Amino acid sequence: MRYGGHTSCVALAHNDEVAPSLILDSGTGIRRASALCGTAAFAGTIMLTHLHWDHVQGLPFFSAADRDDSRVNLMLPEQPDGTAAAEVLAGVMAPPYFPIRPCELRGKWVFSTVSPGTIEVEGFRVEVRDLPHKAGRTFGLRVSEAGAVLTYMPDHCPSLLGPGPEGWGEYHRDALWLAEGASALVHDAQMAANEDVTAGRLGHSVTEYAVGLGRRARAGLVVLFHHQPDRSDESLDALAERFATEPGVVVATESLVLAL
């Protein structure tokens, strides 16, 4: 009720703007991004870290983008078999599973794939790296502008690379690189360390790993993100309490606004 139940979506706006121009993932939370656009249509880029349901299902309900005057550049990870972006997306958005296909969204949509490397989009610099997750290519993103850095790693299963020093997963090179000195590290914190029996099954991290990565990479703020769906407000309060002594750890709440 207080933390919110929508799935992954982070909207970025430049300093002097209110409307977001870069949106990371289109989970059901993207429905709330329409309000940030005011009465205007969305004009910008949506980058998907991967294609799992909880990161794409909000897309057709992003009303500021599904209108005749919108301009949307949608980017998703290049697939091993080279399938075109719109076709990849149609795998989760087409009849009989959903009434319309990506190409039926209103406005000017361009679908493309992205590979690890550095790209410039909407005035942001975006560094893209592969992350270990589960079943499906998954990216971690490091977005920067004018010295501010937001690192976004919503789905990450570092235990696939080994137990690491504390048993929560490897602090591997790409994770450390993406998070290095970030103003804010928004990181998968789906499981607690004592619940990690199921972490491997769906490919997620434990909260202790997220905090450990932020500390090692000297991130200014760690945002515990992608909560386990069964969490109650009380259990998330308890999570916040558990890390209250750590400097710069917050539990993500729907509509949380960060000025970086």
- 54 interacts with Zn ion by CB under 5 A: yes
Per CB under 5 A, contacts with Zn ion among 116-155 are 155
Greatest Cα-to-Cα distance within the chain, rounded to the nearest angstrom: 52
H-helix or E-strand spanning residue 152: strand 148-153
Residue 54 or 174: the one with the smaller Cβ distance to Zn ion is 54
CB of 25 to Zn ion, least distance (A): 8
Beta bridge partners of 108: 71
Which C-beta is closer to Zn ion: that of 155 or that of 196?
155
Q: Does 196 bind Zn ion (CB under 5 A)?
A: no
Contact 21/45 with Cβ under 8 angstroms?
yes
- Interaction between residue 25 and Zn ion (CB under 5 A): no
Strands 22-24 and 10-12: antiparallel
Among 33, 43, 52, 140, binds Zn ion (CB under 5 A): 52
For residues 173 and 161, is the Cβ–Cβ distance under 8 A?
no
Identify which of residues 43 and 185 has a Cβ nearer to Zn ion in the complex.
185
By CB under 5 A, tell whether 188 contacts Zn ion.
Answer: no
| Residue 77 Cβ vs Zn ion, minimum distance, rounded to whole Å | 12
56-85 binders of Zn ion (CB under 5 A)? none
CB 215 within 8 Å of CB 245: no
Counting every residue written for the chain, the total comes to: 260
List residues near Zn ion by CB under 5 A.
Answer: 52, 54, 155
